[in-house]
Amino acid sequence: MQSTEKIIILDFGSQYTQLIARKVREIGVYAEIYPFNISIEKLKELNPTGIILSGGPSSVYEDGAPIPSFDVFAMGIPVLGICYGLQLIAYQKGGAVDKAARREFGRASLEILNFEDIFAGVSQNTQVWMSHGDHLTKAPEGYEIIAKSENSEICAVRSPDKRIYGVQFHPEVHHTTEGKKILENFVRKICGCKEVWNAQSFITSTIEKIKNLVGDEGVILALSGGVDSTVAAVLLHKALGDKLHCVHIDSGLMRTNESQTIVNLFKDSFNIPIELVDGSGLFLSRLHGVEDPELKRKIIGTAFIDLFEVAAKKFNDAKWLAQGTLYPDVIESVSIKGPSATIKSHHNVGGLPEKMHLKILEPFRELFKDEVRAVGRELGVPEWFVNRHPFPGPGLAIRILGAVTKERLEVLRKADDIYLEEIRNAGLYNHIWQAFAVLLPVSSVGVMGDERTYENVCALRAVTSTDGMTADWFEFPNDVLAKISNRIINEVRGINRVVYDITSKPPGTIEWE
Ligand code: XMP
């Protein structure tokens, strides 16, 4: 555990649950998410300083509505109910909830009626984000109504002992302009959280924790070249020094000079040695003629493990395998996760720990991606690296539709380089979650000069996202797209047509395979 003070968020299925945790952490207070049906014993064991009940799509009167098996309001811990959470307060404490005459979705103007605590310092009329069907028609006995809106007389309530609060709107959403202040008032003023949880405090406590856990034993880390494993390596090196062994496998499926850039970064910036394994021949030969995406993924996963196992044999003090697992992967949420987990087999070094009898070390199990980036910055990882877009373990192999060959890899690399260079030139790189080119197994007719051409189609993908689970396609300015298309067709032999992918996730996935 990173902090003695913590806010526990109980998830009732809202699409915004993770956002609540992120906002509370931004305020500098550690927060974790648990499903609403957590047992009271487990919740007590977690010893929360405050509890936030998320929103959710259900109605409290519905059959099977998510309701905790114990009275969360009787634990003596401050509670803030958001949207469905507010309705739960009303339902359990004797108020009344009704289907709203009309559903309220979008911006609304909130009028604050009491500025004593949760709304201290908030403007009298403030913009909030509403997203609900049901609303309160009667506050529970003794509860004070502390805010209203045009649509609803009861938008926020407070219990007589000033320990239980409920709000109809979503303070965690960006469009609630003073939402952060409201959450801050709850965690700092009402729950009384004093500690400051941030990248620096995380680093200090995690180094301590790793030292205690690992002792003199060796740790191996598979360095993919991505942000998570890189920041993990730098942090672990600080804690363990030369007991950390980094292995980078160049699959030959990386972008231009990628493996060399990683090795140089580690050598020059961090003085951390890397065992570089050239696996390009092996990967390409095993992938020969393979077109099926799942088969490609399986072959690549197995090849990684085979090579990693050989490389790791050198480090006979190793008892641990470090992984850059992030919090969104470990949250046991009732929210519907995106389809990626079951749609694609994500392959990195899964299966290795059991095979090699290694214990798993996951220093970022409690962090969101942007927090890992903040930790990276704090540790001196250069900005250009910290902000790198995610890159999948199977690399360019899942961006070449159909069989992967050396020639097609070269064509894709060139197109991808131009695409990313122009995105950077236009100052758009950090506005995009992930951008890449895809080489299609389709040829089309074109004309260049006076010549007929019959060459490959290249698709460009760029998405915005917060965690990769859902994504929207990025709206490029036309002139940027035009320049990219022009350059790719002129400079990359083998491509005579460029198309832009306008599919969101869902229903699409981010990668094409
Ligand atoms: P999809 O395509 O499932 O991708 O929407 C979601 C995010 O995951 C990345 N991705 C992978 N990352 N190994 C990885 O480490 C994989 O096998 C893999 N497949 C997809 C993808 O780039 C996006 O960021």
- Average pLDDT rounded to a whole number, residues 67-87: 97
The single-letter code of the amino acid at 268 is D
Ligand 1 centroid – CA 294 distance (Å) = 13
User: Is the domain defined by 199-386 classed in CATH 3.40.50.620?
Assistant: yes
Please give the class, per CATH, of domain 7-190. Answer: alpha beta
Ligand 1 centroid – CA 336 distance (Å) = 18
Q: Which H or E run contains 140?
A: none
Residue 453's DSSP bridge partners are: 446
**Alpha helices (runs of H) in 313-405, residue ranges in sequence order:** 327-330, 340-343, 352-356, 369-378, 383-386
What pLDDT is recorded for position 331? Answer: 84
Ligand 1 centroid – CA 387 distance (Å) = 17
- 3-class SS at 432? coil
The single-letter code of the amino acid at 1 is M
What pLDDT is recorded for position 341? Answer: 47
DSSP annotation of 265: I
Q: Do domains 7-190 and 199-386 have the same CATH topology?
A: yes
> Which among 393, 353, 352 has a CA at the least distance from the CA of 250?
393
Pairwise CA distance, residues 115 & 460, whole Å: 51
Best residue for ligand 1 mutational test, from 505, 510, 513 (most atoms within 8 Å of Cβ): 510
For 176, other C-beta atoms within 10 Å of its C-beta total: 24
pLDDT digits (tens, 9 = 90+) for 249-292: 999 999 999 999 999 999 998 999 999 999 999 999 999 999 99
For 174, other C-beta atoms within 10 Å of its C-beta total: 11
What pLDDT is recorded for position 342? Answer: 54
Q: Counting beta carbons within 10 angstroms of the beta carbon of residue 448, is it exposed (0 to 12), middle (13 to 18) or buried (19 or more)?
A: exposed
Which residues are marked as active site? Answer: 83, 170, 172
Best residue for ligand 1 mutational test, from 416, 511, 513 (most atoms within 8 Å of Cβ): 511
Residue 445 structure tokens: 């007719």
**Phi and psi torsions of 197, nearest 5°:** -100, 120
Best residue for ligand 1 mutational test, from 255, 346, 401, 504 (most atoms within 8 Å of Cβ): 346
- Topology at the third CATH level for domain 405-500: GMP Synthetase; Chain A, domain 3 (3.30.300)
pLDDT band of residue 378 (cuts 50, 70, 90) is very high
Minimum-distance ligand 1 atom for the alpha carbon of 297: 17
Pairwise CA distance, residues 27 & 54, whole Å: 18
Pairwise CA distance, residues 205 & 3, whole Å: 8
- Average pLDDT rounded to a whole number, residues 75-89: 97
Q: Whose CA is nearest to atom 4 of ligand 1?
A: 510
More reliable by pLDDT, 211 or 346: 211
Percentage of the chain surpassing pLDDT 90? 86
Spell out the domain ranges in the chain. Answer: 7-190, 199-386, 405-500
Per mean pLDDT, which range of 349-363, 381-395, 480-494 is the poorest? 349-363
Spell out a b/e string for 461-480, using b for 16 or more CB atoms within 10 Å of the CB, else e: bbbebebbbbbebbebeeee
Ligand 1 centroid – CA 511 distance (Å) = 7
Q: Whose CA is nearest to atom 6 of ligand 1?
A: 468
Q: Whose CA is nearest to atom 10 of ligand 1?
A: 392
Q: Whose CA is nearest to atom 9 of ligand 1?
A: 392
Minimum-distance ligand 1 atom for the alpha carbon of 398: 19
Minimum-distance ligand 1 atom for the alpha carbon of 390: 24
